[in-house]
Structure 1
Amino acid sequence: MKRLSILVFLLFFVTACMQDEASEEVEERITPVNVESVKKEDFVIERKIVARATSAEASPVISETPGELITLNVAKGDRVEEGETLAVVSPGGNAEDQIELQQIAVRQAEKQLENAQISEDQAAQGVESAKEQVELAKQASQSEESQTAQASEAAKQQYEQAKQLADQTKKLADEGTIPDALFQQAQNRADQAYAQYQQLKGQQPQSSSAVAQAEAQVDQAQQQLEQAQVAVDQAELQVEQANVQLNQAQNQAANEAIPAPSTGEVSTLDAGEGDLVTNQQPFATIVSLDPMTITASVTSEQLSLFNKGDELEIELPSLEEQVTSTVDYVSSVPDDTGLYPVEATVSNSDEKIKPGMMATFLLPENIVENTLIVPTDSLVEENEEAYVYQVVDEKAVRVDVSILESQTEFTAVSGDLPEGADVITTGQLTLSDGDKVTIMEEDS
């Protein structure tokens, strides 16, 4: 009996609840919603390509002179400025002996130069002396020629007088006035005078050969002077070369301060104080952090998205920021992986971007021109159909659309939607066509 009473009570309670719900459904329901406006413009999809930050330049640090690293001013990871002294190297070996040998070589070269200069002065004096001998020989030749001319003229006069006397004597002898023997004597004297005149007339002065010899000595002395001048030039070059070698030896013997070849961060350091370093292998590397290079490997289809000189936005997830880069290299041939390397440069004056950081090229791509764009959250998809609810006179009006392209936040569609229409972005899943709605304020 008790069990029957409970069942009757439960039946009464359920019936009462159903009557209350029915009365509530009779009242018209108003659904609060959020809306956004429909846009009509080009729908752009942003293509993303993964990249990585790398150092634009790595500068090896090499000692010009092999030796012991006696001072080291930096540690791995330190930031250095170009020209800053990183370390000091003391050269090893027999550097002092080399300096002494080069000093001896300099003195020897200077002595050879001194001797060559003395020889040059002597050769110059020899030229002047030979020229003086030529002048003396010429003067002697002129004096001798004058004397010879005078003697020749006197002999000519004597010959003419003797010939005249012989002619007169011959005339007298022919007349018989004098003996023929006297004529013969006069004729002999005339012949002798003629012979003496001819001898003096054809005689060359002996001093003329002396002039030629003196001139030949001038030429010889001039050649000796030229040879001496060449010897002086060679000796001067030897002195210069010896001094250069001495300076090199002195520089090699002095401690060498090793400057930073560029501004950046010490990325590797393979030696410490007391270690030996060579002039062949670097003992440290400096990585330049400004500018920074962003590298990516792209497919042949993506290659056309990059052009040298283009400015592209790059996203740096670890820094949560975007920077502008300039494309400075686009490979025309693939690497070993079959992909094409691409490089872009970004400013990194604050050096926040570190080598190895992940980056993303953001490449805008115009997909659909002059299309309707709705918030992706406003779309309702069911049974292979898509629609949105447009708010018209405080009612939700269903508008069927076709999806053209879609992204996380916005979607390009086609349909009977006016530009600027309000479409419901929240609450639409509980709506039916024609339901009353109220637009919530953004602050609520």
Structure 2
Amino acid sequence: MKRLLLLFILLFFVTACMQEESSEETEERVTPVKVDRVENEDFVIERKIAGRAASPDSSPVMPETPGEVATLNISKGDRVEKGETIAVVRPGGNVGDQVELQEIAVRQAEKQLDNARISKEQAQLGVENAEDQVELAKQASQSEASQSAQAAEAAKQQYEQAQQIADETKKLVDEGTIPEALYTQAQNRADQAHAQYQQLQGQKSQSSSAVSQAEAQVDQAQQQLEQAQVAVEQAELQVEQANVQLNQAEEQAANEAITAPVTGEVASLSAEEGDMVTNQQPFATVVSLNPMTISASVTPEQLDLFEKGQELQVDLPALEKEAASVIDYISSVPDDTGLYPVEATVDNAEEDIKPGMMASFLLPENVVEDALIIPTDGLVEQNDETFVYKVEEEKAVRVDVEVIESQSDFSAVSGEITAEDDIITSGQLTLSDGDKVTIMKEESDEAR
């Protein structure tokens, strides 16, 4: 009996101690939690459409004339300014021989021009001489005409007198007064006088013909002068063309300074000093980094979300930032994948956006006006019910809510909460309505 009584007392004492300890634990249990404040504002749901950054301008670098790289001032990855000398190329081949040949061609053309000018001067003298001959012929014609007229008049009178005598002699012969032989002699003298008269008339025509011939020679000399003038003009043109070709040959023979076509970064470089480069294959490429182009391919359903000139934010995860962009190209024709290319321009003054970086367009798809916005982490779903815990007087108070719209970071809800309420966002999964809580300070708060 004593043993049983002792055992009963011991069990009672142990049970009492356990109940006391349990009561103390229940009274002292406080759950540490983190909170965030409810905001009352418009809730915007964004859609992300993935794309990539690309340079809008990739410019090849090559010389105008093939040759050897005498000086190279750049390396791959260097930043260059437009117009900056990045290399010097020494022309190769027989460019020196070409200069010498063109110099000979210029001298030959100048010699032909001198000859043409001499021929023109001679033709001009020929015209002047022919004109002088016309004047002389006219003067001679006038002098001969005067003398011929006098001689012809005298011959005419002699002819008329001789013919009159012959006619009178004929009458006497017919009358039988004188012999016929006398008439024959008289008529012969008349015929001789007539022949002399006609000869003098012919000399007058010959003097007029000499003037005509001299004038014809003037016309011929004028034609030769015109031909000589044309020859001079052609020779002058040949000299000009030869000088142009000489200048081109000299430019090709001179060292060529290669300049950067755009401001940007040297994306590729395939030549070193001493290497031969051509005007057919670029030896370097310079890409422009400001501005940059953001390119994406969208479905036909997404096409209506974009509009040319539209301003959109672009998410750049590699840089952990967003940037403003402007849509400047929307294709109306799908590519080989059936998607539609869309491009936007984004300022890249700091040149931290590199070609090939991932970038996403942030498209506002839906807006809930004047919404209660809480962190999505604060939502608790249990038995088809959704609720949150807000902190009131160091206790967790359960509040049922309805989710209107939700994203990974924030959600728009309706329920018995108001702006400025503190919603538990960490530690709420172990809570019950009315549990005592303590708000943990953020590291930034502790630092302050």
Task: Name the TM tier (shorter chain).
Answer: 0.7 to 0.9
1:211 aligned partner: 211
% same residue: 64
How many pairs does the alignment contain? 429
How far off is 1:155 after superposition? 5.0
Q: Which residue of 1 aligns with 2:239?
A: 239
Question: Over residues 269-307 of structure 1, what are the superposed CA-to-partner deviations in whole Å (9 max), with x where a residue is unaligned?
Answer: 111122222222111111221222222222222222222
Amino acid in the other structure paired with 1:260 = A
Question: Secondary structure of 2:222's partner?
Answer: helix
For 1:22-61, what aligned pairs fall within 5 Å after superposition? 36=37, 39=40, 41=42, 43-61=43-61
The C-alpha deviation readout for 1:255-280, integer Å capped at 9, x for no partner, is: 22222222222221111122222222
Which residue number in structure 1 is paired with residue 116 of structure 2?
A: 116
- Mean alpha-carbon deviation: is it higher for 332-341 or for 397-406? 397-406
Following superposition, the deviation at residue 56 of structure 1 comes to: 1.9
Q: Separation in 1 of the partners of 2:79 and 2:410? A: 46
Mapped partners of 2:389, 2:200: distance in 1 = 150
Structure 2: how far apart are the matches of 1:372 and 1:315?
Answer: 25
Q: Secondary structure at the match of 1:351?
A: coil
Of residues 207-216 and 188-197 in structure 1, the stretch that sits farther from structure 2 once superposed is 188-197
The question of whether the paired residues in 2 share the 8 Å contact of 1:390 and 1:422 is answered with: no
Q: 1:121 to 1:194 in 2, by over 3 A?
A: closer
**Counterpart secondary structure, 1:408:** coil
Contact preservation (8 Å) 1:388, 1:399: yes
C-alpha separation in 2, matches of 1:18 and 1:155:
180
Q: Distance in 2 between matches of 1:261 and 1:35?
A: 54
Q: Which amino acid in the other structure matches residue 353 of structure 2?
A: I
**Mapped partners of 2:18, 2:302: distance in 1:** 67
Provide the TM-score with structure 2 as the length reference. Answer: 0.78
1:55, 1:292 within 8 Å by CA — same for their partners in 2? Answer: yes
**TM-align CA RMSD:** 4.4
Q: How far apart, in 2, do the equivalents of 1:38 and 1:262 lie? A: 49
Residues 12 and 234 of structure 1: CA distance in aligned 2, closer, same or farther (over 3 Å): same
Aligned partner of residue 112 in structure 2, secondary structure: helix
Q: CA deviation at 1:58?
A: 1.6
Aligned-partner residue type, residue 132 of structure 2: E
Match of 2:13 in 1: 9
CA contact (8 A) 1:388 1:423 kept: no
**Separation in structure 1 between the aligned mates of residue 289 and residue 102 of structure 2, nearest angstrom:** 45
Q: Following the alignment from structure 1 to structure 2, what is the Cα–Cα distance between the partners of residues 60 and 211? A: 77
Q: Structure 1 residues 370 and 146, CA, compared in 2 at 3 Å: closer, same or farther?
A: same
TM superposition shift of 1:192: 7.7
Q: Which whole-Å CA distance do the structure 2 matches of 1:253 and 1:19 have between them?
A: 103
> For 1:79-129, what per-residue CA distance to the aligned partner results, in whole angstroms no more than 9, with x for missing partners?
222222222222233333333333222222222222222112111211221
**C-alpha distance in 2 between matches for 1:234 and 1:411:** 88
CA shift in 2, pair 1:317/1:19, >3 Å: closer
Alignment correspondent of 2:279: 279
- 8 Å Cα contact 1:69-1:88 kept in structure 2: yes
> One-letter code of the match for 2:11?
L
| Structure 1 Cα separation of the partners of residues 116 and 61 of structure 2 | 47
Alignment of 1:253-332 (within 5 A): 253-332=253-332
Paired residues for 1:113-262 under 5 Å: 113-154=113-154, 204-262=204-262
Q: Quick check: 1:35–1:422 contact (8 Å CA) kept in 2? A: no
In structure 2, relative to structure 1, the CA distance for the partners of 1:403 and 1:202 (3 Å cut) is same
Q: How far apart, in 2, do the equivalents of 1:213 and 1:281 lie?
A: 72
SS at match of 1:69: strand
Whether the 8 Å CA contact 1:399–1:416 is kept in 2: the answer is: yes
Select between 399-408 and 186-195 the one with higher mean Cα deviation: 186-195
**For residues 18-65 of structure 1, what are the alpha-carbon distances to aligned partners after superposition, in whole Å with 9 as ceiling and x for unaligned?**
77799x69xxx9x99967456364x42111122222122122111222
Letter in 2 for 1:318: A
Residue 354 of structure 1, CA deviation: 1.7
Query: Comparing 235-244 with 197-206, which one deviates more in the overlay?
Result: 197-206
Amino acid at match of 1:44: V
Counterparts of 2:269 and 2:85 in 1: how far apart (Å)?
15
Distance in 2, matches of 1:102 and 1:32, equals 92
Structure 1 gaps, min length 5: none
The equivalent of 2:341 in structure 1 is: 341
Provide Cα deviations, 1:217-255, integer angstroms capped at 9, x if missing partner.
Answer: 222222222222222223223323333333333333332
2-structure distance, mates of 1:18, 1:394: 22
Q: Secondary structure at the match of 2:333?
A: coil
Aligned partners of 1:417, 1:135: CA distance in 2, in Å? 130
Q: Deviations over 1:337-374 (max 9, x none)?
A: 33222222222222222222222212222x24546333
Which whole-Å CA distance do the structure 1 matches of 2:395 and 2:22 have between them? 28
State the alpha-carbon separation in 1 of the partners of residues 295 and 135 from structure 2: 89
User: What's the counterpart of residue 72 of structure 1?
Assistant: 72
SS at match of 2:97: helix
2:372 is aligned with 1:373: yes
TM-score, with length taken from structure 1: 0.78
- The alignment partner of 1:56 has SS state of coil
Change (3 A) 1:12 1:93: closer
